[in-house]
Chain A
Amino acid sequence: MKSELVVVFIIFLLLFIKVGTEMKNEKLLPIIQFLLLANFIVGFFFNETGVLFGGLFSTNGLMAFQKSILSLGGYLISLLFSDWLKKSEHMPEFFVLMLSALLGMFFMISSGSLLMFFLSLELSTIPVAAMANFDLEKRTSSEASMKMILSSAFSSGILLFGISLIYGATGTINFAEIPALLDGSPLQILAFVFLFTAFAFKLSIVPFHLWTADVYEGAPVAVTSFLSVISKGSIAFILLTTLYKVFAPMQEIWYNMVMLLSIITMIVGNLFALRQQNIKRFLAFSSIAQVGFILVGLSSNSIQGTSSVVYFVLIYVFSNLAAFGVAAAISQQTGKERIDDFKGLYQNNPFISWILALALFSLAGIPPTAGFFGKLFLITAGASKGNYFFIIVAALNLIVSLYYYLRVIRAVFMDKNEQPIEKIILNPSTKLGMIICGAGIVLVGLLSWIFDYITALTA
């Protein structure tokens, strides 16, 4: 409960600050950043294993680590987008909403029954929809928020339907009791399909991905990156629990499903990413393809599967946030969001160009960046089933994805531009965020003890 209590404490603190003081954003932001950093650091101490509230809530070392990854993402967001945040009138509210969503995710990761899971999923979704509307004067922002709230309401409905079917089929909603009662009857399969569909919505797995690109493009970059990194990470974590623990007896059934969805998701995500011109849409589709890769590792149903998925999400936090951070820095100062506008970026902005290159190479899985290790371990975990076809498709998708990541690299480093983007001035905390991301991208892979640590937590 400790991580949750810390987050609640920070939320209340922010509410009091907002109501009780007239602090300027410039002064307040460092305090919030410090609180989020503290939240991340506290996540590593006083972790206990145990069950609370009659099985509704459970926690262990791995869950604590998963929460730490999400807290780290929150901290990085507060650093990377500080320019945008400072200009916002309602900065404390932004963080209250973000932390509420984070709180929901924490409860979701720890949830021990479908009821708790549903409640916390809602808690993690609704604040994000409000965040998507944060650029109050922009119509696209409201549109994104509307689309998001509609699609998530729809998926919640499906999820509830699935939960009720499971209750009907097994007579319980407790994660610990469900596996013994599963026998693979058609009703249970139907229930599982509904449940998984809800996950697919949140993870934007093809064919449930259609809301993704519009929402990503319309929402402010900070929210987009929260959605694409932290929301997805948390759903991937809970999916691990659901598939490996709750639905373990139906493994043969869900393996084929996950494999098919993974293949479609990788292919569609990659093919659509090829044609995007807007950097946010581009990253949206590339993140769909990345989720396809997470499913490759997820399909293995093994300790390696769990550890490689958690490891990959950690790497993904660094890589994708770095890419979004650079995109935000550029669009904040120049208003340019098209890939063509990035031509010749390297001329005046070598630092952010290298950060962007590192991030994209990591997303593409090129060594020595951490993405190489992350993707390789996902594929290795997926290969343990001996399904060559699946692995070859995944490997070929790596090539396609390299093609479009190289498109951006090419624009930044090689293409000539009459009027390249002028020198972008980064404020210190944005720079710090980028350096942390860059260091993470390089070191998380090469320092093998990080992976060992995750494996030790998993076992």
Chain B
Amino acid sequence: MNLTLLILLPLVTAVLILLMRNGEQVKWTALIGSAAQFVLAFALLFAFRSERLAGNEAQMLFELQYTWFPAWHISFHLGVDGISVAMILLTSFVVIAGVLVSWNVTKMTKEFYFLLILLSLGAYGFFISLDLFILFFFLEIAVIPKYLLIGIWGSGKKEYAANKLALMLMGGSALVLVGLLGVYFGSHEKTFDLLTLANAHIPVEVQKICFPLLFVGFGVFTALFPFHTWVPDGHSSAPTAGSMFLAGISMKLGGYGCLRVATYIMPDGAKEYANIVIVLSTIAILYGAFATMMQKDLKYINAYSSVSHCGFVLLGIGMLTKTAMTGAVMQMVSHGLMTALFFAVIGMIYERTHTRQVNEMGGLLKVMPFITTVLFIVGLCSLGLPGLSGFVAEMTVFMGSWQNPDTFHRIATIAACMSIVVTAVYILRAIGQTAMGPLKVSYGNLSNAKWNEKVAAIILIAGILAIGIAPFWLNDLISPATEIIMHKLTGGVHP
């Protein structure tokens, strides 16, 4: 399978959107384009599995390499392993759902969908790059669409939020840039190629400087503790699809970068700083959970709980065991689906009630049964009900964390576990106030979900259930890839 398709398809879709005449045509082009992405992602999954089943044990499959800037030894090097395939699947789920829930956007429809598709282009490109330069290129491509999406179509303090988000993310990428240059010149290989760098044995002192730069840089994207402040503002001001893309895809770019770039190519640095990562991510998990308790706005609730849930991703990476890392990747996929669905539901409710304040709602189950049922499902997934994806992912992270026998790791694990209780409190309270109780008179004639909203919700729920009920396929997909990273961490050389 040719991986450039994953970049070309969104590109062609985006160009076609620009050529369309009216809003209807734009919407359908975007929908067909994102459906094609969806099909392509599954085709990639099956092609990947059949290659693996046929005994192809290469670390990266479907590799492609074109020279791009030979003077800097930059090449357009693409390839996927299990982790990338999982992330690409996640992206395609969120993109199609995001396109569907924005069906009612009337203000500058063309530009809106163009930016959405451009954002997905950045995400696909990021997940399939094996050259750090193009990885960085795609990481940055995604920043400006986010800024414009929030600033133009957002609500509330949108200009402030958009500025804050763009500047903090650019700050993160500036750190990433310095880290990458450090690796480029520090490894004496003068290359940005991920696989070459991973086998290059970068000197330990270089790793000690560059690992924190890269990890914090990517960490900003995934709400690493002191740098999480853009999350609540950005998510709550963004339009529905924007929040879905931000939380569902964009935050995962950071987690993926922390794992694939920082930890993989600099194992000594990772070991050096693992404890700090654990402390910070545990703080994020607990702080996020407690901060959510105080929120009254549904979007803020989900935004803060995202900080908490993304903490599990970094915790899993910081634990440096194979199971925990697999769990971290599963948590990225699971949280991506779940949070996208949560934002989608919030958007649906908001379109009808025109409020996001929990205490102003009540009894919505009576008028919009479908939407509130989805809200229940996503809430239960968030608090870790077995059978849904959240449970599987967080459980895997905890199991992996517990494999570290010393007290420090045990304490961190237990502290992180405690957050689940808090999560249960705020989720149940929010859902209870929204869906149960007496119905407000003014909400009596609200309509139930329309076809586009139903399809979007069903697609995401299908993803959540597929992971929750049968987690093994995802585990089988991811764990060979995390094993290679672990192999590198424990000093072995991959054959």
Contact = CB atoms under 8 A, between A and B. Distances in A.
Given A368-B141, A383-B184, A398-B174, A410 B167 contact: no
A391 B152 contact: no
Contact of A386 (B72, B147, B185): B185
A451 B71 contact: yes
Nearest to B171: A399
A455 B71 contact: yes
A403 B71 CA distance: 31
Nearest to A375: B177
Nearest to A396: B174
Given A392-B178, A413-B151, A414-B152, A367 B71 contact: no
B70 interface: yes
Given A366-B143, A410-B151, A413-B152, A452 B71 contact: yes
Interface residues of B, number: 36
Residues of A contacting B: mostly: helix
Interface in B158-193: 158-159, 162-163, 166-167, 170-171, 174-175, 177-178, 181-182, 184-186
B181 A379 contact: yes
Contact of B177 (A379, A386, A406): A379
B202 to A, nearest CB: 14
A455 B148 CA distance: 36
Given A367-B141, A448-B68, A451-B71, A406 B181 contact: no
A451 to B, nearest CB: 6
Interface in B110-161: 133, 137-138, 140-141, 143-144, 147-148, 151-152, 158-159
A384 interface: yes
A402 B166 contact: yes
B68 A391 contact: no
B163 A403 contact: yes
B132 to A, nearest CB: 12
A194 B171 CA distance: 37
Contact of B147 (A392, A399, A406): A406
A91 interface: no
Given A367-B137, A380-B72, A448-B69, A399 B184 contact: no
B470 interface: no
Contact of B181 (A368, A380, A414): A380
Contacts of A304: 71-72
A63 to B, nearest CB: 19
A391 B71 contact: no
B421 interface: no
Query: In this complex, which of B138, B158, B167 has the most chain A Cβ atoms within 10 angstroms of its Cβ?
Result: B167
Nearest to B175: A395
Contact of A452 (B70, B143, B166): B70
A379 B178 CA distance: 9
A445 to B, nearest CB: 9
Query: In this complex, which of B144, B162, B182 has the most chain A Cβ atoms within 10 angstroms of its Cβ?
Result: B144
B185 A372 contact: no
Interface string B59-95: 0000000011111101000000000000000000000
Query: In this complex, which of B72, B166, B185, B209 has the most chain A Cβ atoms within 10 angstroms of its Cβ?
Result: B72
B207 to A, nearest CB: 14
A398 B167 CA distance: 10
B177 A402 contact: no
Nearest to B144: A366
Residues of B contacting A: mostly: helix
Interface string B464-493: 000000000000000000000000000000
A403 B152 CA distance: 17
A388 B71 contact: no
A395 B69 contact: no
Contacts of B68: 448
A377 interface: yes
A415 B184 CA distance: 41
A403 B170 CA distance: 10
A410 to B, nearest CB: 6
A442 B68 CA distance: 16
Contact of B178 (A307, A395, A455): A395
A376 interface: yes
A395 B152 CA distance: 27
Contact of A383 (B137, B147, B162, B185): B185
A441 to B, nearest CB: 14
B185 A384 contact: yes
B182 A388 contact: yes
A383 B141 contact: no
A367 B140 contact: yes
Contact of A395 (B147, B166, B167, B174): B174
A351 to B, nearest CB: 13
Interface string A357-373: 00001000011100011
B167 A403 contact: yes
A307 B69 CA distance: 12
A410 B159 contact: yes
A451 B178 contact: no
Nearest to B174: A395
B70 A398 contact: no
B140 A366 contact: yes
A398 B71 contact: no
A458 to B, nearest CB: 9
Contacts of A406: 147, 163, 166-167
A398 B181 CA distance: 15
Interface string A9-24: 0000000000000000
A384 B185 CA distance: 6
A388 B177 contact: no
Contacts of B140: 366-367, 372
A368 to B, nearest CB: 6
Contacts of B151: 410, 413-414
Nearest to A401: B170
Contacts of B137: 367-368, 372
A402 B147 CA distance: 12
Contact of A399 (B70, B138, B167, B186): B167
Contacts of B184: 380, 383
B177 A414 contact: no
A304 B163 CA distance: 34
Contacts of B185: 383-384, 386
A455 B69 CA distance: 10
Contacts of B186: 386
Contacts of A373: 69
A377 B186 CA distance: 17
Query: In this complex, which of A361, A366, A392, A452 has the most chain B Cβ atoms within 10 angstroms of its Cβ?
Result: A366
A391 B163 contact: no
A395 B163 contact: no
A399 B72 contact: no
B178 A391 contact: yes
Interface string A421-459: 000000000000000000000000000100110010000
Nearest to A391: B178
A399 to B, nearest CB: 5
A386 B186 CA distance: 8
A383 B170 contact: no
A399 B177 contact: no
23 contacts: A366-B144, A367-B140, A368-B141, A373-B69, A376-B133, A380-B181, A383-B182, A384-B185, A388-B178, A388-B182, A388-B209, A391-B178, A391-B181, A396-B171, A398-B170, A399-B170, A409-B147, A410-B151, A414-B158, A414-B162, A448-B67, A448-B74, A452-B70
Interface of A: 304, 307, 361, 366-368, 372-373, 376-377, 379-380, 383-384, 386, 388, 391-392, 395-396, 398-399, 402-403, 406, 409-410, 413-415, 448, 451-452, 455
Of all A-B residue pairs in the complex, the 7 with the closest CB atoms, nearest first, are A395-B174, A383-B181, A455-B71, A414-B151, A448-B69, A367-B140, A448-B68
Interface of B: 67-72, 74, 133, 137-138, 140-141, 143-144, 147-148, 151-152, 158-159, 162-163, 166-167, 170-171, 174-175, 177-178, 181-182, 184-186, 209
Given A392-B178, A396-B171, 6 more contacts: A383-B184, A388-B178, A395-B174, A399-B167, A409-B148, A414-B151
